[in-house]
Chains A and B, each alone.
Chain A
Amino acid sequence: MFRFSGLLVFSGFILTGLLGCGGAASYQVEGVVTLDNTALAEGDIMFIPVDKKSGPEGGKIKEGKYSLKAPAGDMRVEVRAVRATGKTTPSAAGPGAPGDPVYESIIPERYNTNSELKASVGSGKTKFDFALKSK
């Protein structure tokens, strides 16, 4: 009987050890991003923990949908997307030399550089849709 309880205590230790190693839980977060009620064809989304204890988590937006792993907590969310302007910068190497394409952001700064988007990730809170307006 003593031996049995010893075993029980031992396995208890192991269990606590394993649980301790788990660290901060992270959640699979997903949702839909629209710009002026149209799904954003391609772009990037970032979940930045407000407490800055861990780094931002990034994901790509494809056809409006995104999915990424984020830790629990309050997040500042940034969305970025670009379109090619069709222009290229002139090249010093003369005509025919590679010019550089010029991109411009199609998402207003209030959704990225000065983001107002927020999300609070936690158990049961993993679905966040963002409806963005270009104006």
Chain B
Amino acid sequence: MFKSERRGFTLIELLVVIAIIAILIGLLLPAVQKVREAAARMQCSNNFKQLGLALHGHHDTFGKLPPGQYNNFYSNDAPWIRGCWVQPILPFIEQDNLFRIYDTARQANGNWALVVPNKDTIIKTLVCPSDPNGGKTQTRDTNTVNGVAVVQGLYTNYVLCAGSTYYTTNGQNMNGTFYVKSEITMTGVTDGTSNTVFASEIRVSPDVSANDLRGRYCNSWEGNNWFSTLNPPNTTVPDGQQYQGQSIVGAPISNQGPNALALYARSAHTGGVQAMMGDGSVRFIANSIAPLTWQAMGTRNGGETISN
């Protein structure tokens, strides 16, 4: 005889168990995402420390910090390098080979940094792991040089601080530490290196319908590797640039005339950006920082003190 002694699970019991498992997974998943972001932020902060060491290394070797950018905005002052602070610090972030390729090509090509090979090498130290568009090397520029489409190289997430105002007309003489032809020494940072922001981050924008210059280091000509502390981190005010630009969520941009140009610190981290002070320490700056404090941190010689 067939005896149905075996007792199965009722549908309700199964559903309850599945529901419990679903709730547990639901609890766990956000935690995993949080840990992932925390890890990315730690890596980002480590990148900033490398950058800090590199800037100090440059200062130790040459007696001054690298210039924010070599050429005036929108002019053809010689030598026309179109480079920025990234090239001179390459040897100090263990990219000596890249620097040599750049330097050789630059001397052979009438100085222009854009025409050097290997400029789309992804320098991990300059890319924030939290930014979904980090490590961008694609560009939508339709310009050509001698019939060849221009490729613009790597776009970095990390930018140096030019000051607390809009960029000046030619990009020179700003109140921060890095601007056109700047040659600031550590003693020239009279607010004190631990009170002055040297570097922070921006969000890289993919070129969907227009060319976005923000973060481009090999052909920088309007302070696209700097930022200003004029507006607080992750501000709703769009960045201002003369040339094209592609707005994305969290990083709007507008075309502006010469007296309203600036990039602002932005990041994909939750609630703020990381910033590296002149002494190499890395701080997390909340979006809600008092605007005047953030501006004071951006200047190298404003005479302000910064609490905390």
Chain A residues within CB distance 8 Å of chain B: 43-44, 46, 52-60, 68-69, 80, 82, 89-94, 96-98, 100-105, 112-113
B284 in contact (CB, < 8 A): no
**CB-defined contacts of A100 to chain B, threshold 8 Å:** 74, 221-222, 242-243
B236 in contact (CB, < 8 A): yes
Query: Which of chain B's residues 84-124 have a Cβ closer than 8 Å to chain A?
Result: 110, 112
Chain A contact residues, majority secondary structure: strand
Beyond A56-B291, A82-B256: 5 further Cβ-contacts under 8 Å?
Answer: A55-B294, A58-B235, A92-B76, A103-B258, A113-B259
Query: Which of chain B's residues 113-152 have a Cβ closer than 8 Å to chain A?
Result: 141, 143-147, 150
Q: How distant is the Cα of A112 from the Cα of B242 in the complex, in angstroms?
A: 17
**CB-defined contacts of A89 to chain B, threshold 8 Å:** 74-76
Q: How distant is the Cα of A98 from the Cα of B112 in the complex, in angstroms?
A: 13
B231 in contact (CB, < 8 A): yes
Nearest to A69 among chain B residues (CB) is: B236
Nearest to B290 among chain A residues (CB) is: A53
Q: Are A60 and B112 in contact (CB-based, < 8 A)?
A: no
**CB-defined contacts of B250 to chain A, threshold 8 Å:** none
A-B contact pairs, 7 of them (CB 8 A): A44-B254, A46-B237, A55-B237, A92-B80, A98-B150, A103-B242, A113-B259
B232 in contact (CB, < 8 A): yes
Interface centre among B76, B112, B231, B257 (most CB of A within 10 A): B257
Given contacts A93-B145, A98-B141, contact A56 B237 (CB under 8 A): yes
Q: How distant is the Cα of A96 from the Cα of B247 in the complex, in angstroms?
A: 28
Q: How distant is the Cα of A53 from the Cα of B290 in the complex, in angstroms?
A: 6
Q: How distant is the Cα of A59 from the Cα of B254 in the complex, in angstroms?
A: 10
Q: Are A60 and B237 in contact (CB-based, < 8 A)?
A: no
Nearest to A101 among chain B residues (CB) is: B243
Q: Are B76 and A90 in contact (CB-based, < 8 A)?
A: yes
Q: Are A96 and B144 in contact (CB-based, < 8 A)?
A: yes
A19 to chain B, nearest CB (A): 18
Nearest to A85 among chain B residues (CB) is: B257
**CB-defined contacts of B259 to chain A, threshold 8 Å:** 105, 113
B238 in contact (CB, < 8 A): yes
B218 to chain A, nearest CB (A): 13
**CB-defined contacts of A101 to chain B, threshold 8 Å:** 242-243
**CB-defined contacts of B231 to chain A, threshold 8 Å:** 55-56, 58
B306 in contact (CB, < 8 A): no
Q: How distant is the Cα of A43 from the Cα of B257 in the complex, in angstroms?
A: 12
Q: How distant is the Cα of A82 from the Cα of B236 in the complex, in angstroms?
A: 19
Q: How distant is the Cα of A113 from the Cα of B235 in the complex, in angstroms?
A: 19
Q: Are A105 and B257 in contact (CB-based, < 8 A)?
A: yes
Q: How distant is the Cα of A58 from the Cα of B145 in the complex, in angstroms?
A: 37
**CB-defined contacts of A104 to chain B, threshold 8 Å:** 257
B292 in contact (CB, < 8 A): yes
**CB-defined contacts of B53 to chain A, threshold 8 Å:** none
Q: How distant is the Cα of A96 from the Cα of B80 in the complex, in angstroms?
A: 16
Contact of A55 among B143, B145, B221, B291 (CB under 8 A): B291
Contact of B147 among A56, A96, A105 (CB under 8 A): A96
**CB-defined contacts of A98 to chain B, threshold 8 Å:** 141, 143, 145, 150
